[in-house]
Amino acid sequence: MIKTAKAVKIFTVICLLLFLFVPVRLVQCFAFAFVLAVLLSYFYALVLLKNIDVEKNLLDLKVAVQDSVEISFSVLNHSFLPVPVCYAEDKLTLFVFGGKNRVMFSMRPHERIFCRYRISAKERGLYSIGPVKIITSDPLGLFSVEKEIPVFGKICVRPARIRLLPDTEPGHAQGALKILNVCYEDVTLRKGTRSYRNGDELKRINWRKSAKYGSLYTNEYDATFEVPFFVFLNLCEEDYPLTMRHYKGERAIEIAAAIVEYTHSLQQPCGFAAVGTDSPFLMPAKRQTDCILDILSLIKMKPGKLDYDPVEYFKHKLPCETLFFVVDSKAVELCADSPLPSHSLERIHAEKLGRAL
């Protein structure tokens, strides 16, 4: 969009009339020069309008609450004309350090300018970045060029990171967690061999090495186990005290997210269910951490009260040896002794579903 002041329009019309109807050469020269300058300035602004573009290096981003992340975009001048002054603003609703999403600069022909700024989110949710607003003008300042370039990006803000270390107990054999109990030996992970001892099973003997060295050797295996995790998040409003209800609900979401991230670091399967908005039931499985965290980024509290026991409700749907975490107002109170920062160490009790299931 090209804009100009009303006074410039009026003066241009006056100069055009003077050039056509006033038979004074000096006046005609002055009027013609001004009209010509206006036309050239308009052509200059039109070229800038069509040749200034914006590119973003990152369109989708996932961060946690209170995390700082750098966003950058570049402004390109595709024309053969310089840009005397240009104002660029990337529109967004997140907190920007120093307001550096608004910059002013000049550009040479075919130049690219990079703009960088840092953002931080105070609440979880889905936010959008863009469009980028560009304001410039011709060298004389007669015409203002305003342009909104639809370069959008999405930022998924996940719950704040807190550190939880739930107790992991041995579950199924052949997993990613190591243990010294030989009952969980994984015959697919051989860690070495040792000399034969009386009582060793014949199937453990390494016949190739025994034939090579002329004495019996026995294979030794790593003992590993796998323990499925399941997180149930209760976000019923009436189950939380009215005092600081929103804070405690957010705290429960952060605890659930911390457990999910901890299972990902252990390479263990994790399932999820919740009483809240948009909360599907997910069986324990690997490689669905991002899916659960995305759900926790958008989930909200739901009116009402939980009227069933989640352990009894889900125990027939889950595999045996599942560690079941109920995250509700009681879990928030368990973590109330420590502050919220991510370096704090907090624990939450897990109820184990036994083999009787």
> DSSP of 281-313, one letter per residue?
-EEEESS-HHHHHHHHHH---BSS---S-HHHH
Q: pLDDT band at residue 78, thresholds of 50, 70 and 90?
A: very high
Whether 236 and 341 share a structural domain: yes
Q: 211, 226, 241 — which closes off a domain? A: 226
Beta strand pairing call for 60-64 and 153-158: parallel
**Residue 236 in 3-state DSSP?**
strand
Print burial letters for 103-121: b (CB count within 10 Å at least 16), e (below 16): beeebeeeeebebebebeb
Whether 117 and 13 share a structural domain: no
Whether 57 and 104 share a structural domain: yes
Structural domain includes residue 186:
yes
Answer yes or no: are the C-beta atoms of 280 and 314 closer than 8 Å.
Answer: no
pLDDT the model gives residue 17: 87
Whether 81 and 113 share a structural domain: yes
Whether 247 and 220 share a structural domain: no
Structural domain includes residue 254:
yes
Structural domain includes residue 68:
yes
Q: 136, 158, 180 — which closes off a domain? A: 158
Segment 229-287, tens digit of pLDDT? 888 999 998 888 888 888 888 888 988 898 898 888 888 888 999 988 878 889 988 88
Q: pLDDT band at residue 321, thresholds of 50, 70 and 90?
A: confident
Whether 135 and 207 share a structural domain: no
Print burial letters for 71-82: b (CB count within 10 Å at least 16), e (below 16): bebebebebebe
Structural domain includes residue 357:
no
pLDDT the model gives residue 343: 26
Q: 205, 226, 247 — which closes off a domain? A: 226
Structural domain includes residue 129:
yes
Whether 252 and 305 share a structural domain: yes
Structural domain includes residue 71:
yes
Look up the CATH number of the domain holding residue 95.
Answer: 2.60.40.10
Tell me the range of 15-19, 218-222, 293-297 where mean pLDDT is highest: 293-297
pLDDT the model gives residue 11: 85
Name the amino acid, one letter, at 353. L
Whether 205 and 105 share a structural domain: no
Q: pLDDT band at residue 75, thresholds of 50, 70 and 90?
A: very high
The answer to whether the pTM exceeds 0.85 is no
pLDDT the model gives residue 356: 32
- Does the structure show a pLDDT above 50 at 298? yes
Whether 213 and 235 share a structural domain: no
Q: pLDDT band at residue 177, thresholds of 50, 70 and 90?
A: low
Whether 100 and 59 share a structural domain: yes
Q: Could you list the residue range(s) of the whole structural domain that residue 219 is in?
A: 172-226
Tokens of 294: 């995305």
The whole-chain average pLDDT of the chain stands at 81
Whether 242 and 343 share a structural domain: yes
Number of domains in the chain: 4
Whether 189 and 239 share a structural domain: no
Tokens of 144: 């203002």
Alpha helices, DSSP H only, in 52-133? Answer: none
Element (H, E) at 42: helix 25-51
Give the span between the Cα atoms of 342 and 130, in whole angstroms. 30
